[in-house]
Amino acid sequence: MNQFAVVGVIVLLLLYIHREYRVYRALKEFGGPPTAGFSRLWLLSAVYSGKMNFHFNKVNDEHGSTARIGPRTLLTRDPALIRKMNAVRSPYIRAEWYNALRLHPTRDNITSYRDEAIHNKLRAQMSHGYSGKENLYLENDIDGLLMRMFGLIQRKYVSTETTYKPMNLARITTFFTLDVISTVAFGKSFGFLEIDDDPFEYLKQLHVFLPAMMCFSVFPEVQRLMRLPLMRKLAPQATDITGLGKVMAFARDVVAERFGANNITRKDMLGSFLEHGLTQEQLESETLTQITAGSDSTATAIRMTLFLVTTNPSIYYTLISELLAAQKENKLTRPILRDSESRNLPYLQACIKEGLRLYPPVTGLLAKEVPPQGDIIDNRFVPGGTSIGWNSWGLMRLGDVFGQDVEVFRPERWLPGGGQSSEQIEQMNEVVGLVFGYGRFGCLGKPVAMIELNKTIAELLLRFTFQVADPAHPFDSKCIGFFLHENMFFRVAERKGSLNIHPYTAEE
């Protein structure tokens, strides 16, 4: 190597060191893990650990409500800052983190688009379908799948005094939410509940592609490489016989049925999206996103709320008493209560809110980018281009919002006389609502998720009793953007007494 080449290498190295030092200094006033100022390895380790929620919360506990977790990345559990970044007229945009949510190897979706104009147009086109206003079958479809789930439990998992048939609640609830999202979205169920199995090997693949997505979120450079023609061959393909590729094929096929000479017409989400101008390629990409984002998060909320209720005897008794009293007073439609009826049950709603608070379903950073001119946060200047992610786990454990017993499952905190003033309850409602996003980045699927929560928890408790199988180790859990729960076994029995409900069968 000649002297000019040596000088060139030295100059490049010095320029690199200078640039990285400037990056380090830009956020030096924000505390964080020691290596976070000049390396993304701490962040990668945290998201891969399976305990990212605890790692993130420790950072904010030790370094303040907004802290540093990467050279250009901050983490916040400040609800005011989160609302500010997500507000309709906010100058903040989606950060590069969202590139990791590009599930289809060649197409973006509503969660991965960073172009605000495209994103806003898609939201406007899709909001009608998600709201249920153009989906004539929404609640009835959910009712039908609830009946199928009850039939499955009755057929295979009800224990008696002489027989014990453990039921994996984590698996059953995921099957249910997958069948719901496929049915309400495009009128065709995956059929998980029908066969009580995972023919797609979807759950197995979650343990592969969720860590991969988190890697892409920390190192977007890797995600950009996946767009190269050669690298696309490594991504899931519609020709795959299992996993996300098979889900892609399912989405492609159901979308194709809406086009051509013999196209199917149905007043569901897919029909609404089509009516509002989405193309066939867009529909394929969006249905894939619906399946992944709309099933795992809701399944987590259902099973964790059920777990928390049934493992707290006084809460279990209070909620059952409310449900049975409402039924005795003919305030619940049978065989399945209506969503509107469940909203009038204050203790049920308190349990649902408390479940969402203790286990916010989405724990990924959902990072937003500071506008080019920069911003002042906690009296400190933050340069433009900085990413700021949320700490949802920590946000839902703010003592000055929810009270000092934030680690306790206590639905009473949401009710008058439960220790919080009416002003505090109003603030709690505002903060817990952030689990579904806020402003122009709010979750479009919230109406569907709430119907599932309102109906499923109430009906399961009315029909069956639940006892956790292993109190010392009730389930296995990983937190990788979403929660992955396994081995959540319960002893399930039929609830005794007349409940005036329609008999269900395996075929329903």
Binding residues: 443
Distance separating alpha carbons of residues 16 and 3, to the nearest angstrom: 20
Structure tokens at 160: 């008696």
Distance separating alpha carbons of residues 309 and 410, to the nearest angstrom: 10
* 237 phi and psi angles, rounded to 5 deg: -125, 150
Expressed in percent and rounded to 5, the helix, strand and coil fractions of the chain are 55, 10, 35
Q: HSE (CB half, 13 Å, CA atoms) of 317?
A: 2
Q: Read out DSSP for 50-87?
A: TBHHHHHHHHHHHH-SEEEEETTEEEE--HHHHHHHHS
Structure tokens at 23: 């990056």
130 touches 445 (CB < 8 A): yes
Binding-site sequence positions for heme: 443
Distance separating alpha carbons of residues 215 and 355, to the nearest angstrom: 28
Q: 393: how many CB neighbours lie within 10 A of its CB? A: 20
Helix segments in 380-421, DSSP class H: 392-395, 399-402
Q: HSE (CB half, 13 Å, CA atoms) of 89?
A: 0
DSSP structural state of residue 40: S
Tell me how far CA of residue 16 lies from CA of 3, 21, 36, 72, in angstroms.
Answer: 20, 8, 17, 15
